Every structure is written in structure tokens, then in C-alpha cells.
């Protein structure tokens, strides 16, 4: 089981050019990873914002929100809700289970296409992701901190403070800050 502290925002449309340029600037430091394109399949659980179940690259992942924590603020432009999550991953070495083709077309499963860029810092990853679900574009900015349980909030806060020092994009608001299960309920309606 992996425990994380997360801070995430979702918006309709494509990633604004200003935010993409900001995310890609050298001054943000961290290790920039190669962009990743993939398709994840989420089990649609309407009105359930504390549980996420998905098929990802031949694995079954289950995430359970352990706690909704305080609202964090970084300058005048950034406000978001921190959440603590536990994740279990199940792999099938035979590659006979967890096959997207088995769930494609089933009403209870949703395909989410992702183009994700990620910066990795010690004990925290920051990702900017273009999303497409049912032909509708959305984008997300997220922080996911790992490490010792009693250091998770510090890990998240330290990296977010550093990253947002140069942020000049549109306002990131608390009302738009939530995890994938909530977003799927909004876009799945």
C-alpha cells in the first residue's frame, strides 16, 4: 500500500499556453520526465468521491481517500484542498486479467485518455495532464507527495511553495480542487 498526500485541480478545455510554458520552464527545477500518453479505464461510481478504481497499463489500482485535510494557499493565485490517499496496486503476471478490452463498451467503465508531463522532486511529483473523456477535453495540475506518514504534508507544502513562486497563470481555486473520483462524477453526467 502506498500512502500519498495530494493536491489537484481540474478545468475544462485544453491546457492554457501560459500554464504550459510556466510548467516547462527550467527554473522550476525538479527532474522533468518524458511526456507520457496512455489510456486508463475508471470504474464509474457516481456520487462516490472517496474511492477510485482503475485499470492502468495492465494493473488494477484502487485508491481510498483516508482524509480531507486543510485548504492550502500559495500566494494570491493558488488555493487548493489537500487530501490523503491510500493506493493498492494488483498486477497479473499472466496478463490474462485487467485487460481494457474486457471493460471497453461497458456502461460502468469510462475511458480517460491522458497526455501527462511530470516533474519529480524528492518525495513529491508535480504533473500537468491533458485529459480527454468521451471527446471532451479537460486538464489537471496535481501534486502527489510520498514519504513517511508524518512528513507527507511537509513534503507537499515544501514542493508546492517552491513551484508556485513563479506562477503567474490563471487563478487556481479551491472549488476546482478535488481528486479523480469527483471529476469523473462531474464529467460523467
Residues 6+ apart with CB under 8 A from 42: 52, 53, 54, 109, 110, 112, 180, 184
Side-chain half-sphere exposure of 97, counting CA atoms within 13 A: 9
Q: Domain residues for 22?
A: 2-187
Backbone angles phi, psi at 165, to 5 degrees: -60, -35
CB atoms within 10 A of CB 149: 9
CATH number of residue 161's parent domain: 3.20.100
User: d(Cα 114, Cα 9) in Å, to the nearest integer?
Assistant: 15
pLDDT band at 162 (very low <50, low <70, confident <90, very high): very high
User: Which tens digits make up the pLDDT trace of 30-83?
Assistant: 999 999 999 999 999 988 999 999 999 889 999 999 999 999 999 999 999 999
Q: Please tell me the pTM assigned to this model.
A: 0.92
Q: Provide the pLDDT confidence category of residue 189 given band limits of 50, 70 and 90.
A: low
What is the total count of domains within the chain? Answer: 1
**pLDDT tens for each residue of 97-153:** 777 767 777 788 999 999 999 999 999 999 999 999 989 999 999 999 999 999 999
Amino acid at each position: 500500500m502506498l500512502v500519498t498526500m495530494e493536491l489537484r485541480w481540474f478545468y475544462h478545455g485544453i491546457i492554457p499556453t501560459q500554464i504550459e510554458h510556466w510548467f516547462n520552464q527550467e527554473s522550476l527545477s525538479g527532474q522533468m520526465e518524458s511526456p507520457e500518453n496512455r489510456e486508463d479505464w475508471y470504474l464509474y461510481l457516481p456520487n462516490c468521491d472517496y474511492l477510485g478504481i482503475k485499470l492502468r497499463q495492465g494493473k488494477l489500482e484502487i485508491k481510498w481517500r483516508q482524509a480531507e485535510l486543510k485548504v492550502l494557499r500559495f500566494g494570491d493565485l493558488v488555493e487548493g484542498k489537500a487530501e490523503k490517499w491510500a493506493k493498492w496496486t494488483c498486477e497479473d503476471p499472466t496478463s490474462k486479467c485487467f485487460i481494457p478490452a474486457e471493460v471497453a463498451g461497458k456502461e460502468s467503465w469510462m475511458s480517460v485518455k491522458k497526455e501527462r508531463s511530470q516533474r519529480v522532486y524528492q518525495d513529491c511529483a508535480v504533473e500537468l495532464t491533458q485529459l480527454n473523456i468521451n471527446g471532451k477535453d479537460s486538464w489537471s495540475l496535481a501534486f502527489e507527495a510520498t514519504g513517511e506518514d508524518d512528513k507527507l504534508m511537509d513534503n507537499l507544502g515544501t514542493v508546492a511553495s517552491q513551484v508556485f513562486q513563479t506562477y503567474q497563470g490563471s487563478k487556481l481555486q479551491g472549488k476546482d480542487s478535488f481528486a479523480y473520483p469527483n471529476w469523473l462524477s462531474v464529467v460523467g453526467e
